[in-house]
Amino acid sequence: MNNLHDVWRTRFFHYINEVQKYMKYVFTGHMAIVLVFIIGAGGYQYSEWLKTNPVDFPSILVTAIVLGFLLAFSNPTTLIREPDQVYLLPLETKLPIYFKKALNWTFWSQILVVVIPFIIALPMLKQIGQVSSGTIGLAFVIVVFMKWWNVQVDFAFRWANRGQAVWGDRIVRVLISITVVASVLLMNVWMMLIVAIPVIYYGFTWMKQKAMHPFPYEHFVKLEQNRMLRLYRFANYFTDVPHIHGSIKRRQWLDALYKMVPFKKENTQAYLVFRTFVRTDDHFYLWVRLTAIAGIGAFIINMPVAVGVFLAALAFATTIQLKQALISSTDFSMYMLYPLPAVYRKLAVHKIVRVVNIVQAIIVLICGIGNPLFYVGPVIMLIVGEITLRMTK
């Protein structure tokens, strides 16, 4: 490598290729259909809510709080690796060149996280908050600036404190960001002038502190490893990712559920499969996550057709992923020593998946109470789940 520009460019292209390699399995055709229905149903619900003209709704405060939290979560993407602790030491005085590019990418890659919610809030701010177009334009500029400020301060704080007390810094920046956004939307000049003091003082303080400490390679290496691990875990729900291995937890608080499987020879596989589902993080949290999404969708969406399609897609995803995960394991297990027909495991997997699908449908039924035809969604989930079990290998 001739310089740190080449180092960043090489790592950046490798990172983009790695993300694209796995995201193509996530955002497939059926996922696009689900997203279209979710966005359409959410937009319709939002427009219908605005028609009721809830004049007492604190639109400015809610917008400021949401944007404040989103602005404060600005983890830097540095692409620092463990060998850099040795190989980049001779170039430590030139590291600002590398980190300038890293922070620019962090800013541009995260800007949509705040811009999209801001755009979504525009109709609410105009109709309920009575915010003028000029004020909204100024607020947009300030929000973009505050995103840049949060990225810079987050990085400087982590550098100066070697990754310690990050949540304390984040809370401070949440409060500052909320106050800044609220003061601009309210067009309170005195509040804007007052809040400018902590923005300038807090930022310059940590910029100055950063210059007094060596770069904490260990913290940023760990930060990068955790960020990539989250990407791989997310992609692993849709395709096999060789970089991760599922962890096992006892979950003692669920031990009582094992008694639901009768103590019989023919239930050996059912008992082992059930323990595998409960104790394996990848399987258990997959079900918890999809069930939570389904419950939230059933609670928010009150269009029977939209919620039916939404829940059908989630039922299909839950069933096929759990079935394949519980059947396709090639690791040695104790059940291989038992004199039981191989078909018993497949039957046991089908039985356990049916049970968890029923539990999922009950939770969705409870969440959807109050919406029209709330019972149709859970029925669709059970039907789609059963068809998926029977029709897939």
Q: Quick: pLDDT tens for 233-242.
A: 777 766 667 6
3-state secondary structure 194-208: HHHHHHHHHHHHHHH
End-of-domain residue from the set 221, 237, 267: 221
Is 97 within a domain?
yes
DSSP tag of 261: S
Contact assessment for residue 344 and residue 275, using Cβ atoms and an 8 Å cutoff: no
Confidence of residue 207 (pLDDT cuts 50, 70, 90): very high
Whether the pLDDT of residue 332 is over 60: the answer is no
Task: Provide mean pLDDT across the span 153-162.
Answer: 94
Q: What residue type is 283 in one-letter code?
A: H
Length of the chain: 393
Is 10 within a domain?
no
Question: Is the domain of 217 the same as that of 256?
Answer: no
Question: Is the domain of 204 the same as that of 321?
Answer: no
Is 36 within a domain?
no
Is 231 within a domain?
no
Question: Is the domain of 217 the same as that of 289?
Answer: no
What was the pLDDT predicted at 325?
78
Domain that holds residue 301: 252-328+338-391
Question: Is the domain of 203 the same as that of 307?
Answer: no
The Cα angle at residue 343 between residues 340 and 347, in degrees rounded to 5: 110
Question: Is the domain of 149 the same as that of 190?
Answer: yes
Question: Is the domain of 110 the same as that of 155?
Answer: yes
Whether the pLDDT of residue 244 is over 80: the answer is no
Domain count within the chain: 2
Question: Is the domain of 68 the same as that of 128?
Answer: yes
Confidence of residue 121 (pLDDT cuts 50, 70, 90): very high
Confidence of residue 63 (pLDDT cuts 50, 70, 90): very high
Q: Computed from CA positions of residues 233, 237, 241, 245, in that sequence, does the dihedral angle turn out positive or negative?
A: positive
Residue closest to 59 by CA, chosen among 136, 114, 112, 116:
136
Helix (H, G, I), strand (E, B) or coil at 341: coil
Question: Is the domain of 374 the same as that of 318?
Answer: yes
Is 236 within a domain?
no
Is 166 within a domain?
yes
CA distances from 1 to 4, 80, 97, 202, 275 (A): 8, 15, 14, 37, 51
Contact assessment for residue 357 and residue 318, using Cβ atoms and an 8 Å cutoff: yes
Whether the pLDDT of residue 10 is over 50: the answer is yes
What was the pLDDT predicted at 1?
47
Contact assessment for residue 35 and residue 104, using Cβ atoms and an 8 Å cutoff: no
Question: Is the domain of 188 the same as that of 302?
Answer: no
Is 29 within a domain?
no
Question: Is the domain of 54 the same as that of 198?
Answer: yes
Helix (H, G, I), strand (E, B) or coil at 369: strand
Helix (H, G, I), strand (E, B) or coil at 280: strand
Question: Is the domain of 383 the same as that of 261?
Answer: yes
Q: What is the pTM of this model?
A: 0.74
Question: Is the domain of 216 the same as that of 363?
Answer: no
Is 30 within a domain?
no
Looking at 211-280, list the stretches that DSSP marks H as alpha helix, in order from N- to C-terminal side: 217-236, 268-279
